[in-house]
Chains A and B, each alone.
Chain A
Amino acid sequence: MIAEIGFGSLFISLIISVYGVIAAIYGERNHQRKWVFSAKQAMRLVFPLLTLSIGSLIFLILNNNFEVVYVASVSSINMPVYLKITAIWGGQAGSMLFWSWLLAGFGFIVTFRKWDRDQDFLPWVIAICLGTIAFFVVLNTFFENPFVRYWQVNQEIVQSFVHPPGGIQVAPRNGGGLNPLLRHPGMIIHPPMQYLGFVAFIVPYAFAMASLITGRSDDRWIQLSRPWAIWAWLFLSLGLILGARWAYDVLGWGGYWGWDPVENSALMPWLSGTAFLHAVLIQEKRNMFKQWPIVLIIVTYNLVIFGTFLTRSGLLSSVHSFARSSIGPIFLAFIALTFIASFWLLSSRWEKFKSRQVLTSFFSKEALILITIILFLGMLVTTFWGVIFPNISELVTGQKVTVGPPFYERVAGPILGGVLVIMVICPLAVWSFVSFKHLGKLLWKPFIVSLLGVLLPIYGGLTKVPAVIAFWLVAFVLAVNGFEFIRRTRLRRRSQSESLFQTISGVFQRNKRSYSAMIIHVGMVFMALGIIGIEFFQTETQGTIAEGQELQLASYTMEYEQLDIFNTSDDRNVARAVILVKKDGQVIDEIYPRRDFYYDSNQQVTIPGVRSTLVDDFYTILVDWKAVTSEGATFKVYHNPLVKWLWIGAWTIILGVVVTSLPDNRSTRAGSRTRGRDGHRN
């Protein structure tokens, strides 16, 4: 019954979204507002319908309805409720439904904004959003239906949604359970964040396309999409960082990023999305390079779809996967349609979006931002090429190849360095022009402070040249931002008499965007610190030791205290080691690396024991143990300096985005536009 409700509402939402697309375009073509209005209502209706559908799926999972194939494949009786919720996106069909639901959610919210000034955009935004929703719902309805059930027909078990003639519904006694690797608290928020990030780019994309279709080439579409793009970017960043955290906590290889094709296909839209947000800035402030943001948002959205295709169609799947997804061909058709339509529109409106580019100085803010965009695009091209090359190579030579970390890092290292250099200069640079002399005047104080910041580690024995340069750049960026903040606060205090707190909050209020950018950039630098720490200074060792024996790494000593092996109520067999962490002979911490074996899915997961401080992480993995555990267990130990700053940086970035979207006093935004040509028609 519940499955019927779920599928029924899914199917109705498909019909309604197809209707909406047609109504929106028909209304626009014939200048009949009522049809567009009807299409808008359709878009509002799809979200509750899909909510009902996904709600049914949640109910089925929570209720252990294993006659539903999807439920049996991702859930089991003993799974706690939070994991059952996670199971919604634990498999292809469910995650697809979740994706459609989020997409519909964004469509739903968009309809509620005031459209008075943008009536001409409305039908196209509806058509694009609903068209995309319709596509994903088609996938769910005809190819990856999460409501398919098991039936017994003449001694044979068949999978079907509709009741086959003579069939009896059957259900396995228990489900296979969620993939153990996905049973991590991070997995509860990582996929939703990642999906939100991907899906939210539909809105800026729809605005951009509407702008191209209507030929309205002012910067209205940018004003409309910017907040959406920022939130999409934040979600995508969070998704990436949570994924990294999950890899660090669960995959047990001491790292957080492996340049795996699946990771890369999530990184690519982030790179172009970041480039987009910067290009928007140039257009808003200087009304230049108007073609760039529109190209970048189209590329970003297309990369989202492309990445989804790569990871879901089986094109990137492993040798072991017997299951071949059937969504490949139709997905390919959708991709072809999206790519061709986007770029065809773009090239046909190209001249309209031409703007006069004027660069007066290499040190002007726009020139620096332009270089930043180029750097991000460089990384994007490299990543893209690395992701697709193994497939090309297999076509040409018949040999499979791996394009792994060394390939990407060769490019990523210098690019990260370049971005840091720009982050030193950029906060001091001014729009349109800045003299080198002026820049020098602002730079020398932070420069000296940054030297102090790097001399300390050198004094402490740091010898790696790239690491010294990296540390120095990090210190420099922090110093520049600090000095700039003080300078601006002083400037304001001189002109107005108010308390320091008032001044600081006032400065923030006035220039919210540039300060939030400052915070986000500082967060980025913190993350760079973490990356530098692990890339240059990670050390590791492995050894088999008996109880009471020790292993040494960096300034730490670990003592193997004991190993317990026991079963848990949720069908796991846990082997958990107790490790004493010592420094200078003193016990400073106790950590528990363990290995969980899941009976229901016959898989094991290695969970590291980590002592984490601002300076470094001491990361231990239980590799193996002898039959008599007191005789010996094998541990792999990593020393990961500074890695905690990666997560601190992520939190800082969130703070920055939250600052930028604090209640807005509209005059500030209007004011910031006075410089640019302000030409919307109302």
Chain B
Amino acid sequence: MVTEIKKTSWVAALSILLVVCLIPAAVYAQGSGPSDDEVNAVAKQLYCPVCENIPLDACGTTACEQWRGVIRDRLAEGWSEDQIKEYFVAQYGDRVLAEPPREGFNWVVYIVPMVIFVGGGVLFITGIKRWRDSGQDRTLRRGGKKVPEPDKLSDDDIKRVEEELLKRSKG
């Protein structure tokens, strides 16, 4: 919702007054202003709006430097991290966030993998059950013949059998 501000003289006067009042505060804030590390901590969570897929803290262009400057100014004004992020989204769109915001259609990006994981998990477990059942069949049918009872043979025995087979196939 946009309020149409008419630039009347008293508004101008008021703004000048405000600016004058704010200047010392701003200077004061700059003196003990946010450190580079504090700025980078926020910038790290944002993406450069013009370069593709480069986090704002790692981007070397002048434009990115200016954006880090914006973060610094906002931090100096006492904005919180979330407020700054919201400001960036309002200005430059959702793409500045490292992840789509959790709202509206964007939920799809989070839900689809979950659905696939759950679906895949269910399929896998039913599959395993089926394969295990058929396994029991087999031991029932062929248990007496060639396939030895699993727990009667130790792994070492099997290894020895394998070695023996190897030697034979060699010879």
Contact = CB atoms under 8 A, between A and B. Distances in A.
Question: Is chain B in direct contact with chain A in the complex (CB below 8 A)?
Answer: yes
Contacts, number: 149
A154 interface: no
B36 A542 contact: yes
A401 B95 contact: yes
Interface residues of A, number: 65
Given A356-B134, A407-B99, 18 more contacts: A253-B58, A378-B117, A385-B109, A393-B109, A396-B105, A397-B106, A399-B94, A402-B47, A402-B96, A402-B97, A433-B150, A438-B155, A495-B163, A510-B166, A541-B37, A634-B36, A667-B170, A671-B169
11 contacts: A318-B52, A356-B134, A357-B134, A360-B132, A374-B120, A385-B109, A389-B108, A402-B95, A402-B96, A402-B99, A404-B99
B37 A359 contact: no
Contacts of A362: 128
Given A374-B124, A406-B98, A542-B40, A258 B169 contact: no
Q: Shortest 6 CB-CB distances between A and B: which pairs?
A: A253-B58, A404-B98, A542-B36, A318-B52, A358-B135, A357-B131
Contacts of B139: 360
A53 interface: no
Contacts of B96: 402
A258 B134 CA distance: 45
Interface string B32-47: 0001110010000001
Nearest to B60: A606
B53 interface: yes
A357 B18 CA distance: 78
Contacts of B51: 318, 320
Classify chain B's interface size.
35 or more
A385 B113 contact: yes
Contact of B128 (A252, A359, A434): A359
B53 A404 contact: yes
A293 interface: no
A397 B105 contact: yes
B159 interface: yes
A337 interface: no
Interface in A595-638: 604, 606, 623, 634, 636
Contacts of A333: none
Contact of A668 (B55, B127, B166): B166
Contact of A434 (B131, B134, B155): B155
A356 B136 CA distance: 12
Counting chain B CB atoms within 10 Å of each CB, the highest count among A404, A544, A634 belongs to A404
Contacts of A320: 50-52
B13 interface: no
A179 B169 CA distance: 57
B55 to A, nearest CB: 7
Contacts of B35: 543
Contacts of A392: 108
B5 interface: no
Interface string B131-170: 1101100110000000000110011101110110110011
Given A393-B106, A399-B95, A668-B166, A359 B135 contact: yes
Contacts of A261: 53
B116 A358 contact: no
A319 B50 contact: yes
B78 interface: no
B69 interface: no
A396 B169 CA distance: 63
Contact of A393 (B105, B162, B169): B105
Contacts of B162: 671
Contacts of B105: 393, 396-397
A258 B166 contact: no
Nearest to A669: B169
A381 interface: yes
Contacts of A253: 54-55, 57-58
A403 B166 contact: no
Interface string A259-302: 01100000000000000000000000000000000000000000
A254 B58 contact: yes
A403 B37 CA distance: 25
Given A360-B135, A435-B151, A407 B109 contact: yes
Contacts of A400: 93-95
A670 B169 contact: yes
Contacts of B100: 389, 393, 401-403
A405 interface: yes
Nearest to B89: A399
Contacts of B151: 435
B26 to A, nearest CB: 20
Contact of A403 (B60, B104, B109, B160): B109
Contact of A260 (B53, B99, B156, B166): B53
Nearest to B96: A402
B17 interface: no
B47 A404 contact: yes
B112 interface: yes
